[in-house]
Amino acid sequence: MNVKWFLSISLYLSLVITGLLVLFFLNNPFVNALDKPPQNLIENTKKENNLQNQKKMDIKSIIERTQKTVVMIELDDGSIGSGFLYNEKGDIITNAHVVSGHSYVKIRTSKSKGYSGRVIGISDEIDIAVIRVEGLKDVSPADLVEYDLSEVGDEVIALGSPLGFQNTVTVGIISGIGREFDIPPYNYEDVYQISAPISQGNSGGPLIDKRSGKVIGINSAVIEDGTIGFSIPVVQVLSIVKEWSNNPIVSLDEGSVISKKLDPSKVEILEETALYNIASYFNWINNKRFSDAYSLMGIQWKEQLPFEDFKKMYENARSLTVDEMVLENRNDYSVSINCYLTIEKQIKNQVIEDTYLVKFEFGYENGEPKILSGSFHAAP
């Protein structure tokens, strides 16, 4: 009998203890927390997702906001470039080589609205210029950095009109800093090297820091295959462009050649540049890129030979062959180069070859090396 009581009491106590344990685990917050993720983990995950979404929205808003300030620059010879508004006076920063030799240019906004712009400042040493567009006065400009804090690896966005495709956006990184080189007459010092693809037509467009959304550079040059580009840090030239905006050049006389007396130490460089540019001139023609060839010509020569007449001279040519390019003489302002040019033409079913003695004068015009004139003579 005692044994039975002992077993009954033991069973009763076991049931009570089990019940108490069940109640304890059901109501213990620590144990409940084991069944679901910690609250701080949930909150951190939400924050990370929000940050990722915000980052995506920021990139899109940066592009949308900056594109409103980017313009395409069109010249009468068909060449194009880019630029961007930097103040509320309607002033546009671009490259000097884009507008060299022109007092007035055509401006087209991101919404394809056209305006006339006047060059109010241009350098013959730094590849920078400013255009004023009265019709864009009071339009919100791009945001510019005030200090150069960029480093290798920073993500960047390049905007512009490569090959005439307006509102084009490419992305990359700053792949080098402090780069230095010359493309006469311009000297590029402490410029950014970038991996964002740029090409002809991008010149003068803004380089945007992906983190801040501000302009850090002016896209200015590119390696021939387009894989490496170079951008002038905007902080380097901001004081110059502000001076032009405050004290604009009254007039750039398009009908005159503003020559630059040659520094004796740079004569050899000009001779090399002349040979290179004249070879490029014929190469562009051979590839039917007439506007590129025409852009190498000086103002006075263009006045004597309008673009349509120039194009007619070569559009029936099957090929051009240049022989015996010789430096003839030089003076304080220019160099002369002669060469023999053979033009092969297709006229109906006949192939005809004509050979000419061509004489070029090459020098500075508005601070940029140009083919100032060219004359053709029947070969002896």
Task: Give the tens place of pLDDT for each residue, 335-353.
Answer: 889 999 999 987 777 888 8
Residues 208 and 345 in one domain: no
The mean per-residue pLDDT over the stretch 79-94 comes to: 95
Residue type, 49: N
Q: According to the model, what pLDDT value does residue 56 have?
A: 46
Tokens at residue 356, please?
Answer: 């000419």
Domain count, the chain: 2
Residues 361 and 233 in one domain: no
**Whether residue 47 has pLDDT greater than 90:** no
Residues 132 and 212 in one domain: yes
Q: Is residue 323 part of a domain?
A: yes
E-only strand ranges, 43-103? 70-74, 80-85, 91-94
Residues 289 and 248 in one domain: no
Range of the domain at 342: 264-378
Domain boundary among the residues 197, 221, 253 is at 253
**Whether residue 303 has pLDDT greater than 90:** no
The mean per-residue pLDDT over the stretch 205-230 comes to: 89
Residues 204 and 170 in one domain: yes
Q: Is residue 87 part of a domain?
A: yes
Of residues 189 and 27, the one with the higher pLDDT is 189
**Whether residue 70 has pLDDT greater than 90:** yes
Residues 62 and 164 in one domain: yes
Q: Is residue 188 part of a domain?
A: yes
Lowest mean pLDDT among 93-102, 236-245, 248-257: 248-257
Tokens at residue 253, please?
Answer: 């006389």
Q: Is residue 24 part of a domain?
A: no
CATH number at residue 324: 3.10.450.100
Q: According to the model, what pLDDT value does residue 332 have?
A: 61
Q: Is residue 9 part of a domain?
A: no
Give the span between the Cα atoms of 369 and 380, in whole angstroms: 30
Neighbouring C-alpha atoms within 13 Å toward the C-beta of 135:
11
Q: Is residue 13 part of a domain?
A: no
pTM above 0.85, yes or no: no
Residues 97 and 188 in one domain: yes
Report the residue count for the chain: 380
CATH number at residue 86: 2.40.10.120
